[in-house]
């Protein structure tokens, strides 16, 4: 194998201690690798621990067992090679769009003037050049995601971790954002780990789609290669025959898990 492995989770197990002392195992024996330049999407039913796995790769969460290796080195503390795009709004509300993007450089010690001019370039490349002076609350949900994307990418991380980043957006905006992401990604092909509950989105974006079983103790139960040609257009690719075949095949596996996950969450609700 010539391409190095960017992220490797080896038999990672994630467990939480609940308030009443019991231990809840979120993810069991997860084995997952992302090669350099590879776009991997994780899909799974609600509550299966997809985001948990991402937090492990980010170093925000320590696995209860197993190893995390980043570029073949064991991960200790936060993953400094990774940029993280959060599902919820994570922009600093007291900073303008420009300052929000520049901050990643400023904390590295880049002179403020230079950080600002590069931030302006990044805002322009996500299509928000004219919104530099706006505070996050003056931007729409989609615009905030664009700022967040620029905020992460300006630091030029080798790995991009994305936790349902377009989840809160409406369907059209999601597709536009998907295309923007692919455009930016194709420039330098970072390793991407992209969590979503939307199978179509996963197939349209990724090189590989990984399926997780319903929680608790969820495992990785499938791994498909997506060989749709690049560059892709999210709108067009959905009409492709291969897309449909792959979708049918993966959905056959995913459907059962989604039903299980749904049943479990309703049971849990009844128990409470």
The nearer residue to other proteins, 119 or 234, going by C-beta atoms, is 119
Around Cβ 268, how many Cβ atoms within 10 Å?
11
State the nearest-atom distance from the C-beta of 102 to other proteins, in Å.
Answer: 11
The residue (of 68 and 152) whose beta carbon lies closer to other proteins is 152
Provide the b/e sequence for 46-83 (b: ≥16 CB within 10 Å): ebbbbbbbbbbbbbebebbebebebeeeebeeebebbb
In angstroms, rounded to a whole number, what is the distance separating the alpha carbons of residues 145 and 163?
12
Q: Nearest approach, Cβ of 119 to other proteins (angstroms)?
A: 13
Question: Where in 70-99 is the site for other proteins (CB under 8 A)?
Answer: 78, 80, 82-84, 86, 88-96
Distance from C-alpha of 167 to C-alpha of 241, rounded to nearest angstrom: 26
162: how many CB neighbours lie within 10 A of its CB? 25
- Choice between 103 and 182, CB closer to other proteins: 103
# residues near other proteins by CB under 8 A: 28
CA 202 to chain centre: 10
Contact call for residue 256 and other proteins (CB under 8 A): no
Whole-number minimum distance, CB 248 to other proteins, in Å?
36
Stretch that binds other proteins, among 147-155, 214-222, 224-232, 246-254 (CB under 8 A): 147-155
Give the nearer residue to other proteins in terms of CB position, either 181 or 209: 181
Q: Which residues pair with 162 in a beta bridge?
A: 85, 194
Instruction: Kindly list the residues in this chain that would bind other proteins in the complex (CB under 8 A).
Output: 58, 60, 78, 80, 82-84, 86, 88-96, 103-104, 107-108, 135-138, 151-152, 155
């Amino acid at each position: 194998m010539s391409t190095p492995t960017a992220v490797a989770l080896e038999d990672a197990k994630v467990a939480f201690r609940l308030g009443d002392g019991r231990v809840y195992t979120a993810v069991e024996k997860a084995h997952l690798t992302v090669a350099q330049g590879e776009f991997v999407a994780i899909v799974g039913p609600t509550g299966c621990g997809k985001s948990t796995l991402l937090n492990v790769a980010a170093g925000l969460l320590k696995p209860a067992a197993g190893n995390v290796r980043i570029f073949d080195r064991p991960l200790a503390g936060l993953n400094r090679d990774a940029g993280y795009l959060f599902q919820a709004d994570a922009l600093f509300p007291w900073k303008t769009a420009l300052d929000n993007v520049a901050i990643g450089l400023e904390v590295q010690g880049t002179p403020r003037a230079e950080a600002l001019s590069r931030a302006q370039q990044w805002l322009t490349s996500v299509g928000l050049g004219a919104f530099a002076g706006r505070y996050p609350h003056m931007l729409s949900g989609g615009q905030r995601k664009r700022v967040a994307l620029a905020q992460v990418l300006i630091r030029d991380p080798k790995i991009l971790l994305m936790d349902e980043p377009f989840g809160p957006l409406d369907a059209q905006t999601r597709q536009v954002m998907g295309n923007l992401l692919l455009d930016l990604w194709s420039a330098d092909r970072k390793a991407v780990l992209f969590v979503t509950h939307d199978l179509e989105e996963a197939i349209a974006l990724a090189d590989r789609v990984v399926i997780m079983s319903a929680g608790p103790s969820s495992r990785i139960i499938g791994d498909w290669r997506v060989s749709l040609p690049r560059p892709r257009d999210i709108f067009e690719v959905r009409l492709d025959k291969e897309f449909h075949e792959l979708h049918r095949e993966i959905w056959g596996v995913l459907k059962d898990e989604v039903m299980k996950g749904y049943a479990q969450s309703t049971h849990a609700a009844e128990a409470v």
